[in-house]
Amino acid sequence: MPYRRISGKQTTLGGRSRLTNKGLNQSTFPISSASSPKNVSSGEANKTTVTLVAVNHPKIPDLPTMNPLGFEFLYLGYLLTALFGQLLSIYKTVWWYPSTLPPSTMTMNFHLIDKNLTVLIALLFVRRVLYTIMWKHLKPSTDNMMYIFVWILACLVVGCIWIIEIMQNVVALHETFTSVKLMFLYYPLIFWLPIYWISENGFLTYSLGCLKGQKNSKNCLSLKSPGRLKDQPESIGDGRTSYINLGNACDAEQVREEVNLLCCDFNSRLAEIVFSSLLGAYYVGLVPIFYTETYQSFDVAWSLQYTALILVNTFSMLTSFLLPPRYLQVLHKCASLLGGYELVGNTTNITSETIDSCEQWSPSVVFSVDALVQYQDNIYKAVGKHNTACPNNSTHQRFFFMFYKPLRVLNWLLGLHFAIAVFQIHLLIWSTHWDQLIIPALLQFFSYFILFTTLRDRIVLGKAYAIYDGSLSSSRIWFP
């Protein structure tokens, strides 16, 4: 019985080519007739299958992660603290202020701060906490229509109260400021509201799905859309834990389908990180500057630098929460099964011997490492242990580059957190004003917490992969 050798000890049994490797998992993948040996008939080649040793991954420990509600309270506390720091730098009292006036006896000129604007900014940030409470903790998980109706009614009541409070402060701002200044407050909301309410995971979509009685197997009463994997929720981000079952596919096409699903989920998480960090930095750092009076004197350069610090800090906090180690592990597992290719050259400038040794790429075939594959008019070389990716697919190439090494993204995040902490220490050392000492000192508590959790995850995962590879040297732990 003919066969194609991949690796390990190979035996032929009942028309199937099997690889035996004791102690390792195995997965069976079909070989197309185009990739079969030339001396095999087409009918026999179509029946031939090859069993490859599956890519094994170490079992990483269950690292503690922050509860979504706990993170939202932490994130809200950071934004409110940062808002207080920006107001302190703008409205602090100065030595030339007349000592006969009452505000000179205080640390800040509270009478100059617009209370409606401050409350409005705080309400915009509280929305995340309200959403987490109503959506993550009180969302119904049963088919009881009465409970669903009460939940929808509670969401409408909370949403109406929040909107009424927002409108009261907006009306008060209309009486104080010009329409030009109010435009600085409105235009981010013009983009945010449609995206939130019309999004796939928004309240409106979920409510309509509840009323229509549509549901799937894992996320009760959520809408289904075509093209999804079987037994997978509408969005991986719904439960933040349903992605754990991915990365164990035994079929080449299913591997690519899981990769496409993870790409969409990763892009949605990255978009949420970027948009939320920009929104927080804008309303905390820039809006208070836009609404200062012309006679108000403050250090503009420091305030802009402080806004940039808020931006990178919020980005750091959101990445640590939305990209946990368990999620990165799943991305790495799928990248290992996906594999990648390097372009060798075009069929016009490669020798005929090389072309004859190539195999035609097939969507149902898994290619081994260093295999030469012909796709369209180009020749590619497989670089992964298992290679199921489409050779000219740029999305597959980026996914393989980013997540094939299990600690690459975590190293990037750790470097970002460490750079932020060092920059805040630099601000503390070189600051000459009392307010510039207080503000970075307050924010450093949040930065150190995120740095500590990321460093803990990096050390634990580094040792786990070092033990799996049979090496415990320090260089192997830190630079795998």
SS (H, E, C) the chain: CCCCCCCCEEEEECCEEEEECCCCCEEEEECCHHHCCCCCCHHHHHCCEEEEECCCCCCCCCCCCCCHHHHHHHHHHHHHHHHHHHHHHHHECCCCCCCCCHHHHCCECHHHCCHHHHHHHHHHHHHHHHHHHHHHHCCCCCCCHHHHHHHHHHHHHHHHHHHHHHHHHHHHHHCCCCHHHHHHHHHHHHHHHHHHHHCCCCHHHHHHHHHHCCCCCCCCCCCCCCCCCCCCCCCCCCCCCHHHHCCCCCCHHHHHHHHHHHHHHHHHHHHHHHHHHHHHHHHHHHHHHHCCCCCCCCCHHHHHHHHHHHHHHHHHHHHHHHCCHHHHHHHHHHHHHHCCEEEEEEHHHCCHHHHHCCEECCCCCCECCCCEEEECCEEEEECCCCECCCCCCHHHHHHHHHHCCCCHHHHHHHHHHHHHHHHHHHHHHHCCCHHHHHHHHHHHHHHHHHHHHHHHHHHHHHHHHHHHCCCCCHHHHHCC
| Model confidence, pTM | 0.75
Rounded to an integer, what distance in angstroms lies between the CA atom of residue 148 and that of residue 145? 5
For residue range 339-395, what is the model confidence (pLDDT) as tens digits?
888 888 776 667 776 677 778 888 888 888 888 888 887 888 888 888 888 888 888
pLDDT of residue 470: 58
Amino acid at 193: L
CA 214 to CA 203: how far, in whole Å?
15
**Interaxial angle between packed helices 252-281 and 394-403, expressed in degrees from 0 to 180 and rounded to the nearest 10:** 70
Task: Retrieve residue 317's tokens.
Answer: 């906090």
101: how many CB neighbours lie within 10 A of its CB? Answer: 11
Tell me the two tokens of residue 259. 């990769």
Q: Which of 377, 408, 387, 378 lies closest to 341, judged by CA? A: 387
Q: What is the structure's pLDDT at 52? A: 52
Q: Write out residues in the chain with pLDDT < 50, as ranges.
A: 1-51, 53, 200-208, 210-241, 471-480
Give strand pairing partners of 443: none
Query: Closest Cα to residue 376, out of 395, 348, 335, 340?
Result: 348
Is residue 431 within 8 A of residue 383, CB to CB? The reply is no
The whole-number pLDDT of residue 74 equals: 93
Instruction: Please state, in angstroms and rounded to a whole number, the distance separating the CA atoms of residues 208 and 352.
Output: 61
What is the predicted pLDDT for the residue at 82? 93
Calpha distance 371→91 (Å, rounded): 67
What is the model's pLDDT at position 295?
78
Residues forming a β-bridge with 11: 18
Provide the pLDDT for residue 200: 46
Q: Count of alpha carbons within 13 Å of 438, Cβ hemisphere only? A: 13
CA nearest neighbour of 337 among 420, 252, 277: 252
β-bridge mates for residue 26, sequence order: 53
HSE, CB side, 13 Å, CA atoms: give it for residue 111: 7
C-alpha angle 75-81-83 in degrees, rounded to nearest 5 = 105
Alpha carbons 75 and 141: distance in angstroms, whole number:
27
What per-residue confidence (pLDDT) applies to 310? 93
Please give the single-letter amino acid code of residue 35: S
Q: Give the Cα separation of 21 and 43 in Å (integer).
A: 29
Q: Supply the pLDDT for residue 8.
A: 37
Sort residue 231 into left (φ over 0), alpha (ψ -120 to 50) or beta.
left
Alpha carbon 439 to chain centroid, angstroms: 29
Count of residues making up the chain: 480
Tell which phi-psi region holds residue 23, choosing left (phi > 0), alpha (psi between -120 and 50) or beta: left
Answer for the pair 115, 163: CB distance below 8 angstroms, yes or no: no
For residue 116 the two structure tokens come to: 């409606």
